[in-house]
Amino acid sequence: MSLITSSIKGTLDLLPKDSYKTQYVEAAMREIAENYGFYEMRTPVFEHTELFERGVGDTTDVVQKEMYTFTTGDDGGSSFTLRPENTASAVRAYLENKVYGKEGLTKWYYMGPMFRHDKPQAGRYRQFHQFGAEVL
């Protein structure tokens, strides 16, 4: 058995000599969002596949070609997908937690890893970090 010594194509190691740059950008994004009345929310990195098929559209390239989807054997073969974007997850959390009945205008932001299974091009990655904001 040989040792695996290279990362998967389309992924990136963020080493300490560069991680401070990411921390700086994230802190700036948090500050700007919070100055405009947005609050951070976090969702799981995987969701039921149907959420993205309905939310993003089952005929889009993201759904047809670019999602990392897997089935489980423990509960009858449920289909889960690593999130390719976070809008659908944010709306799901808003509805599931009945936030609409608790406050008027909801202003959320999020950041974190997203996953797309496409042929990596220069400067594009299969796992990437994204910032977004939703007003509901």
**pLDDT 10s digit of each residue in the chain, 136 long?**
566 788 888 888 999 999 999 999 999 999 999 999 999 999 999 999 989 887 555 555 554 558 888 888 776 778 899 999 999 999 999 999 999 988 889 999 999 999 988 776 777 788 999 999 999 9
**Is the whole model's pTM more than 0.85, yes or no?**
no
Label residue 70 left, alpha or beta by phi (over 0 means left) and psi (-120 to 50 means alpha): beta
